[in-house]
Amino acid sequence: MELINYTTNEVPQKQGNTTRPGARATAVELLAAHGIEVPQSWPLRKVRAMAAGLATIVRDTIETHERHRGAYFWRPNWSANLRRAAEFDVHHSVGTLHWRQYRSESARNVYYRLHVTRADGRKGNIGDLRKLLAALQRVNA
pLDDT tens-digit map of 55-103? 999 999 999 999 999 888 899 999 999 999 999 999 999 989 999 999 9
- Is 79 contained in some domain? yes
> Considering the entire predicted model, what is its pTM?
0.78
- Is 11 contained in some domain? no
The domain tally of the chain equals 1
Q: Which residue range(s) make up the domain with 46? A: 23-35+42-139
| pLDDT over threshold 90, residue 128 | yes
- Is 3 contained in some domain? no
Phi, psi angle pair for 22, to nearest 5°: 80, 10
Dist CA 66 CA 111 (whole Å)? 14
Which pLDDT score is estimated for 20?
59
- Average pLDDT (110-120) is 95
Dist CA 70 CA 68 (whole Å)? 5
What confidence tens digit (pLDDT) does each residue in 8-37 have? 555 455 554 455 556 777 888 888 888 888
- Is 54 contained in some domain? yes
- Is 69 contained in some domain? yes
* Nearest-5° Cα angle at 72, 61 to 124: 40
